[in-house]
Amino acid sequence: MIARTLDEALAPITDGCVLAVPRETSGVAMAATRALIRRSVRRLTLITLPTSSLQADLLIGAGCVEAIETSAVSLGEFGPAPRFAAAVMTGAIRIKDSTCPALHAAFQAAEKGVPFMPLRGLIGSDVLAHRPDWKVIDNPFGNDDPIVLLPALKPDVTLFHAPMADREGNVWIGRDRELATMAHGAARTVVTVEKLHDGNFFDDPLLAPGALGGFYVEAVVLAPQGAWPLALADHYPADAAHLAEYARLAATTEGFAAYLDRYVHAQRAA
């Protein structure tokens, strides 16, 4: 469905939702993130594949997140994610610590419709001791060969930003194939895009290999520059000056509130 407004597209993301989002280089729906904050969505369980940066930090600082499963939340060269760090220190959110391979494997299990996925590399790690939902069993095809079973991650909604969609609801994700895995495993997928394409991607041999079928997409909405201030690969770079300003302001509760007033609440949903 091609939604008329951003708020219409985001309707599936409700209080208490399990929301999956991609890493910052794969197409982050930042315009949608700001709209969710303005709507005061609450008690989200945020799952990142596999990391997050500004998006998670904003949602956590704004009080939208109850729990997060991630392998890292960081502003990268701009330093730690300050609102995430503050929430960890105060216990304001529940954290499921994970690893990049574990998150990918768990999403792949959901994509394939199986209850779990085996993964070997966690054996001997400290993180395994803190994840009672991960089970170590002996390889049924071998002797004295432990393997970890990871439960499938099945989010209520996957949310991301992409370069374009066609009017049939197909979305072009290019080489960021993990977005397809996220959409396949989720109950619903919402996508913001830079532009709408008049043809059908699957009729074009050059575009078809990078397309996600509209069958997996609940709603698409036009949101030019929708990843700003983060980058959209091959389209525009990250706004380094803005990210530096965010890191400076968000270091304090008062500064973060000023950032929200200036860059989130002062805007209207498209």
Q: Mapped to the 3 state alphabet, what secondary structure does 144-172 carry?
A: CCEEEEEECCCCCEEEEEEEEEECCCCEE
193 within 8 A of 220, measured Cβ to Cβ: yes
Which residues pair with residue 80 across a beta bridge? 74
What number is the average pLDDT over the span 5-34?
Answer: 97
Counting residues of the chain whose pLDDT is more than 70, the rounded percentage is 99
Counting residues of the chain whose pLDDT is more than 90, the rounded percentage is 92
d(CA 10, CA 36): 8
DSSP secondary-structure letter at 200?
Answer: -
Q: What is the largest CA-CA distance in the chain?
A: 62
* Six token digits for residue 211: 């397309």
Give the count of alpha carbons within 13 A of 232, CB side only.
25
What number is the average pLDDT over the span 203-221?
Answer: 96
Its pTM stands at: 0.95
What number is the average pLDDT over the span 36-55?
Answer: 98
List, for residues 60-69, the tens digit of each pLDDT value: 999 999 999 9
Rounded to 10 degrees, the C-alpha dihedral 85/87/91/95 comes to -70
The CATH number of domain 6-98+153-263, selected from 3.90.550.10, 3.40.50.9100, 3.40.1080.10, 2.40.30.110: 3.40.1080.10
Q: Tell me, rounded to whole angstroms, the distance of Cα 241 from its chain centroid.
A: 23
77 within 8 A of 247, measured Cβ to Cβ: no
List, for residues 76-132, the tens digit of each pLDDT value: 999 999 999 999 999 999 999 999 999 999 999 999 999 999 999 899 889 998 999
34 within 8 A of 171, measured Cβ to Cβ: no
What number is the average pLDDT over the span 225-243?
Answer: 97
Amino acid, res. 186: A
187 within 8 A of 156, measured Cβ to Cβ: yes
Query: What pLDDT was estimated at residue 270?
Result: 35
What number is the average pLDDT over the span 232-261?
Answer: 97
Query: Given a cut of 70, is residue 260 above it in pLDDT?
Result: yes
Query: What residues does CATH 3.40.1080.10 cover in the chain?
Result: 6-98+153-263
Q: Which regions of the chain does DSSP assign to beta strands (E)? A: 18-22, 44-49, 51-52, 65-70, 72-73, 94-97, 116-119, 135-138, 146-151, 157-166, 171-172, 188-197, 211-212, 219-222
Mean pLDDT of the chain: 95
Amino acid, res. 196: L
Query: What pLDDT was estimated at residue 193?
Result: 98
Query: Given a cut of 90, is residue 148 above it in pLDDT?
Result: yes
Amino acid, res. 222: L
What SS3 state is found at 106?
helix
What number is the average pLDDT over the span 225-239?
Answer: 96
